[in-house]
């Protein structure tokens, strides 16, 4: 029987008891390492989400397959109706007729309508009129999806591959760097860093929201180093490198911003595990004068140099 | 004559005087149990809202009926103009001609334009040119609606069927559980719980905003148990189960979140009536280790076990 | 020469010196009573805004005129190219040929393409291919505008025609009522009321933000009476009815809400001038029991009854 | 080796060390004066952003070129298949046939489909069916882009060309004026002004967020003068005109607003350098009575008059 403590409800809606070392709550790509089981199919699926999120090649495969299958279906209907009720069908064998019906269907569903083939009797006309209506609606959807995919905002923020523990004023700080590689301007950028630490005396985990030197910037034109000062009130206070590894620390980062190009709010998530932290290293300063302004070499985001900790 | 007290205007814009037991202010599906009367037709209707909210079968019925009626209308216009002014009309009887005009109209409004039938004189050309313009605009609307329906964000949050009163730390708490069954990531989830209680000495109702253990989470990957601690300042303090039933309690829940898939803010509403609360039961802990991560069996969201209250 | 005082910069960006009685800063329809002069044409116009905001009849007139003029233009081009380079032109007189070219243009720009007329030589083909490209782009725009107009969110909040000064607890209050006549659910509704008062000793105006009994509600299913308690810190304190008239008071109301149907934030504005305030009257209580729930007769929103002021 | 001080992370994510006089962090058009170097191509590009942001002539050039090239490509495919498999091709020379195939391709990709040319064999049908599918998808994208460009919200706020230092109450203030020249209503306008100052004793720069007399207005119908009072806590306190020039001051302005026409949040940025500040001048008061309301002559936004400083 579980005690009350194991049912502590915490800030992230994640497990507080997954004590095995090496468990990562948030994957590097920003997805959560949680499986939902026994979700009824209709509650689980989200067709729009799937179609907007899948890769472009897969998306085009879905479109092309749908186009092919729908034309197969309507070609079969025209065969049932009888291709003698279409003008311009020249095929003798059923296969030839089916192929011609297939392409007539394609001309109908795209509302191309060359007219070298055209419906003659009532049944053929009904099939063709239905198909053209369906075609317009389906292409409407495909259109919306194309645009939805193309205009989908996404925070393209890039994280330094490692975090560092470096001197900060007269104490030390936990630091990582983010860059905005695109031309999109990100405004009112807010960052939240949570630390998940296993307790030293049990298999339970605690979550701590870390205080940051600065948790919001008005503009984010290029690069930002996010700093958590390890002062007396920090959960990292007095912890050594081996403590942090032993207690299987995970730093969960969420960045929220307004993307001016898309006029929408975007989120970016990432995490650093204990072994992804470099102790006693500091990020290299990258801003350089360039003509009338300054320039930043984005490719050097991960560069650090050794430095003695306070 | 009403006294000032009956006209107390409160937080939810709902009735404070509907004293009959069993009145439910907010239905389980998130709609309010209020009828608006004598609203002028033009102020009441919202065509876009209706077309985007109706069920898919009904939506397709509306589209198909519209398509049919519009073709009937334009076929009639072509009959008026005279089908001898269309090429390729082969029907002799008016009915046959009408049917051919009907399908010619369908080919025109979808901009299919096979050309086996085509307008010859001025009047027929005017009708056809008008119809094709109208067709493009109508299909534009249908397109927008299809996409609007398909991409409409909706908070798919699922609530536990019952709330519980369970021990919480060294007091008790009012608790219910919510899950996010979809893959959509919900961010910055905020919850508000209001309690509507009939006064013990009159038919009036009071509304109380309940303090929550935590009213906002940054992420909501799977499940969240929302807890109102019944401490000294809680309106539930010292109330027994029969008090809560007698005073016809209703807990009104609103959840606000940002749905990352749709890049939009979504709301979810639900309520718990007094008889939907289980006293002295606690939700079963569902997180389990699964391979490298954890898993949660969503289908067990309603499971509780007996526990002694503090 | 102006003194510093006249250049007081205040909360609404409106004039502080328009002392003439009867001046209304905000019209009843929510537009401001300010003219901007000498704005260069290109800075002033907003084609999208105009096309989305104009009335439906005007919008269809613009579309139809555009369609007509563009076909006139391309028919002229086909005349220049020579209609002998189009198949199926049967007209002899230039006028007949122009009319046929006009309808061929209509069939081309809508991508209808019956094919009873078709381009034969290079020049005619170039014109037709250009027109069909242009047609697709123009209808794309028209489509977007149709949908933009149709899905444009607007706060349909309806205000009581008058505000009242009525007893509120043991003091008095300035009150007005708003209703949401549509089925759209409005969430997180915030209201701001500003009072513009002429100074008693000069022609200058002061703006005051009024404190409200409640300035935000979570839901707004039907009706809300907004109350400004006239306590000691209210700018209305100790003012009589004739003072308020003399000092040419204007109450400027802004309501902000999230419209769930459109998933967008909407704003509504209105104002009450001194003569639109009824002193010593109170709004009639409208909520009534109705079957299992309650009902509100929206048409009685303006009903008040006499009551003695505190 | 860099010291800790040079890596001060500040509010704007900009350089703190670009000490050369005349460096401008934010250009007048609201773009940042920072170059990002060595960004991998795929991380840097943002096709949607580029296509939505480019000028209209350039956008139409891209569309027209795409249309031309795609027709060249499909005409080549039809040549490969053999134009004898298309009906109605009358050209004898390969060039004539290519031209006819080019226009047949144009009729196919726009789904115009006159039908004077039509595919006959399997291969030609496959090419045509593929092209019409592709055409629908491409025009879908072009459509989305047209609408995206047309409906893109942008803060059209216009800044006074100079800022002034003018008397404000019994001290002085840093002031500039903004106008909203469009009919768009801007709501809940928030302004942030940051001051970048070179230190007097080193080449480092400090950034200061300036306190404003009022940093938010509910409405912004016409004009707003933004004032930073130079009181004891202002970084400008006791600085003379030559100090401000010597320390290479830059005032960075960000305005955030909700544009009601587009139902979206918009941002506007600008900056004033030390030499763009007029000392001892004040903006002319522009509001004038006009018929029943007031009017403002927007073209006089930059007009100032001389005034003695406190």
C-beta atoms of C12 and D298 within 8 A: no
> Would residue B37 count as lying in a domain?
no
> Would residue D264 count as lying in a domain?
yes
The pair of structure tokens assigned to C97 is 């040929």
Read out DSSP for chain B? ---GGGG---TTS--S---STT--SB-TTS-BSEEEES--HHHH--HHHHHHHS-HHHHHHHHHHHHHHHHHHHHHHHHHH-GGGEET----SHHHHHHHHHHHHHHHHTT---SSSEE-SHHHHHHHHHHHHHHHHHHHHHHHHHHHHHT------EE-SSEEEEEETTEEEEEEEEE--SSPPEEEEEEEEEEEEE-SSSS-EEEEEPP-S-SEEEE-SSEEEEEEE--TTSTTTT--HHHHHHTT-EEEEEEEEEETTTTEEEEEEEEEEGGGEEETEEEPP-EEEETTEEEEEGGGTT-EEE----
Which CATH number belongs to the domain containing residue A263 in this structure?
2.60.40.1400
**First-last CA distance in chain C:** 47
**First-last CA distance in chain B:** 47
Cα–Cα distance between A12 and B216 in angstroms, integer? 10
Pair C101, C128: CB distance under 8 Å: no
Distance from the Cα of C244 to chain B's closest Cα (Å) equals 25
Average pLDDT over residues C81-100: 90
Same domain, yes or no: C207 and C289 = yes
C-beta atoms of C263 and B87 within 8 A: no
Distance from the Cα of D166 to chain A's closest Cα (Å) equals 27
Pair C210, C195: CB distance under 8 Å: yes
C contacts of B22 (beta carbons < 8 Å): 292
For chain A, the chains sharing at least 3 beta-carbon pairs closer than 8 angstroms are: B, C, D
Split at pLDDT 50, 70, 90, the class of C7 is very low
Please report the residues numbered 94 through 113 in chain B whose beta carbons come closer than 8 angstroms to any beta carbon of chain D.
111, 113
C-beta atoms of D115 and B111 within 8 A: no
Mean pLDDT of chain A: 84
Cα–Cα distance between A250 and A248 in angstroms, integer? 7
Q: How many helices (H) and strands (E) does chain C have?
A: 6, 17
C-beta atoms of A115 and C115 within 8 A: yes
Split at pLDDT 50, 70, 90, the class of C14 is low
Task: Give tens-digit pLDDT for C229-239.
Answer: 999 999 999 99
C-beta atoms of A298 and D264 within 8 A: no
Please report the residues numbered 26 through 45 in chain B whose beta carbons come closer than 8 angstroms to any beta carbon of chain C.
32-40, 43-45
Same domain, yes or no: C157 and C63 = no
Domain end among B89, B115, B150: B150
Cα–Cα distance between C301 and C176 in angstroms, integer? 10
B contacts of A114 (beta carbons < 8 Å): 114-115
Report the pLDDT value the prediction gives residue D184, as an integer from 0 to 100.
77
Same domain, yes or no: B236 and B140 = no
Task: Give tens-digit pLDDT for D216-266.
Answer: 888 887 888 999 999 999 999 999 999 999 888 999 999 999 888 777 888
Report the pLDDT value the prediction gives residue D21, as an integer from 0 to 100.
56
The pair of structure tokens assigned to B26 is 């907010």
Same domain, yes or no: B64 and B203 = no
Which of C64, A129, C114 is closest to B119 using CA atoms?
A: C114
Domain end among B150, B179, B206: B150
Between the CA atoms of B41, B46, B52 and B56, what dihedral angle is there, to the nearest 10 degrees? 0
Of residues C36 and A228, the one with the higher pLDDT is: A228
Between the CA atoms of B134, B140, B142 and B145, what dihedral angle is there, to the nearest 10 degrees? -140
Distance from the Cα of D292 to chain C's closest Cα (Å) equals 7
The pair of structure tokens assigned to C126 is 């170039």
| Candidate from D114, D182, D260 with C-beta closest to C118 | D114
Distance from the Cα of B95 to chain D's closest Cα (Å) equals 29
User: Which residue segment(s) compose the domain that D236 sits in?
Assistant: 153-306
Cα–Cα distance between B207 and D260 in angstroms, integer? 34
Is the pLDDT assigned to residue B12 strictly greater than 60? Answer: no
Report the pLDDT value the prediction gives residue D98, as an integer from 0 to 100.
94
| Candidate from A36, A87, A113 with C-beta closest to B296 | A36
Report the pLDDT value the prediction gives residue C74, as an integer from 0 to 100.
95
Average pLDDT over residues A5-13: 40
Same domain, yes or no: D103 and D183 = no
Of residues A84 and B46, the one with the higher pLDDT is: A84
Alpha helices in C164-265 (DSSP H): 241-246
Search chain A and give the residue with CA nearest C264: A264
Same domain, yes or no: B99 and B183 = no
| Candidate from B67, B181, B219 with C-beta closest to A36 | B181
Task: Give tens-digit pLDDT for A104-122.
Answer: 999 999 988 888 888 988 9
C-beta atoms of A39 and B299 within 8 A: yes
Split at pLDDT 50, 70, 90, the class of D16 is low
Of residues D218 and A226, the one with the higher pLDDT is: A226
Same domain, yes or no: D102 and D193 = no
Domain end among B134, B150, B166: B150
Neighbours of A212 (CB within 10 A): 17
C-beta atoms of B115 and D111 within 8 A: no
Which CATH number belongs to the domain containing residue C110 in this structure?
1.10.287.70
Report the pLDDT value the prediction gives residue C8, as an integer from 0 to 100.
38
Task: Give tens-digit pLDDT for C238-289.
Answer: 999 999 998 889 999 999 998 887 778 888 889 999 999 999 999 998 877 7
Is the pLDDT assigned to residue C21 strictly greater than 70? Answer: no
> Would residue A21 count as lying in a domain?
no
Task: Give tens-digit pLDDT for C163-199.
Answer: 999 999 899 999 999 988 887 788 889 999 989 888 8
What are the CA-CA distances from residue A159 to residues A155, A194, A221, A272, B159 (Å)? 11, 16, 15, 10, 36
Search chain C and give the residue with CA nearest B109: C112
The partner residues of B223 in beta bridges, in order of sequence, read B179
> Would residue A247 count as lying in a domain?
yes
Of residues D19 and D99, the one with the higher pLDDT is: D99
Which of D15, D32, D5 is closest to A288 using CA atoms?
A: D15
Same domain, yes or no: C54 and C193 = no
Of residues A5 and C128, the one with the higher pLDDT is: C128
Residues of chain A above pLDDT 90, percent: 43
Split at pLDDT 50, 70, 90, the class of B4 is very low
The pair of structure tokens assigned to A267 is 């989120």
Counting one residue from A and one from C, how many pairs have CB atoms under 8 Å apart?
A: 5
Read out DSSP for B120-145? -SHHHHHHHHHHHHHHHHHHHHHHHH
Same domain, yes or no: B174 and B244 = yes
Cα–Cα distance between B105 and A132 in angstroms, integer? 12
B contacts of C75 (beta carbons < 8 Å): none
Same domain, yes or no: B173 and B140 = no
For chain B, the chains sharing at least 3 beta-carbon pairs closer than 8 angstroms are: A, C, D
B contacts of D111 (beta carbons < 8 Å): 111
Pair B108, B131: CB distance under 8 Å: yes
Distance from the Cα of D117 to chain C's closest Cα (Å) equals 9
> Would residue B23 count as lying in a domain?
no
Which of A66, A22, A279 is closest to A167 using CA atoms?
A: A279
Is the pLDDT assigned to residue D22 strictly greater than 70? Answer: no
Domains held by chain A: number = 2
Same domain, yes or no: C110 and C54 = yes
Report the pLDDT value the prediction gives residue D26, as an integer from 0 to 100.
79
The pair of structure tokens assigned to C285 is 């209580």
> Would residue C8 count as lying in a domain?
no
Mean pLDDT of chain C: 84
Q: Mapping DSSP to helix (H, G, I), strand (E, B) and coil, where does residue C96 land?
A: helix
Cα–Cα distance between C15 and D292 in angstroms, integer? 13
Mean pLDDT of chain D: 84
Same domain, yes or no: C103 and C223 = no
Of residues C86 and B13, the one with the higher pLDDT is: C86
> Would residue B232 count as lying in a domain?
yes
Split at pLDDT 50, 70, 90, the class of D4 is very low
Of residues D246 and A17, the one with the higher pLDDT is: D246
Task: Give tens-digit pLDDT for B149-190.
Answer: 877 776 678 999 999 999 998 999 999 999 888 877 888 899
Cα–Cα distance between D74 and B149 in angstroms, integer? 35
Cα–Cα distance between A229 and A231 in angstroms, integer? 6
Of the candidate ranges A6-10, A91-95, A195-199, the one whose mean pLDDT is the lowest: A6-10
Distance from the Cα of B220 to chain A's closest Cα (Å) equals 6
Of the candidate ranges A84-93, C105-114, D99-108, D292-301, the one whose mean pLDDT is the lowest: D292-301
> Would residue A194 count as lying in a domain?
yes
């Amino acid at each position: 029987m579980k005690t009350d403590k194991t049912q502590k409800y915490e800030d992230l809606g994640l497990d507080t008891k997954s004590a095995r070392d090496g468990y990562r709550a948030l994957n590097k790509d920003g997805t959560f390492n949680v499986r939902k089981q026994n979700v009824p199919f209709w509650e689980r699926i989200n067709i729009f989400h799937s179609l907007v999120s899948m890769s472009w090649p897969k998306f085009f495969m879905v479109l092309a397959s749908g186009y092919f299958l729908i034309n197969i279906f309507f070609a079969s209907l025209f065969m049932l109706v009888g291709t003698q009720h279409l003008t311009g069908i020249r095929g003798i064998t059923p296969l030839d007729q089916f192929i011609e019906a297939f392409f007539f269907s394609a001309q109908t569903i795209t509302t191309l309508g060359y007219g070298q083939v055209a419906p003659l009797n009532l049944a053929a006309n009904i099939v063709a009129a239905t198909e053209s209506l369906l075609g317009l609606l389906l292409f409407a959807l495909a259109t919306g999806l194309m645009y939805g995919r193309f205009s989908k905002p996404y925070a393209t923020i890039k994280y330094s591959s490692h975090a560092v523990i470096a001197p900060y004023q007269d104490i030390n700080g936990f630091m990582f760097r983010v860059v905005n590689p695109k031309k999109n301007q990100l405004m009112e950028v807010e960052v939240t860093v949570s630390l998940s630490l296993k307790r030293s005396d049990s298999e339970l985990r605690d979550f701590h929201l870390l205080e940051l030197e600065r948790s919001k910037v008005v503009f984010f034109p290029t690069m930002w180093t996010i700093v958590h000062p390890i002062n007396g009130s920090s959960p990292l206070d007095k912890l050594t490198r081996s403590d942090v590894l032993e207690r299987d620390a995970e730093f969960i980062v969420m960045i929220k911003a307004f993307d001016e190009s898309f006029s929408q709010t975007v989120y970016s998530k990432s995490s650093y595990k204990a072994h992804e932290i470099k102790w006693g290293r500091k990020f290299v300063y990258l801003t350089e004068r360039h003509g009338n302004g300054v320039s930043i070499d984005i490719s050097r985001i991960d560069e650090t140099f050794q430095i003695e900790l306070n």
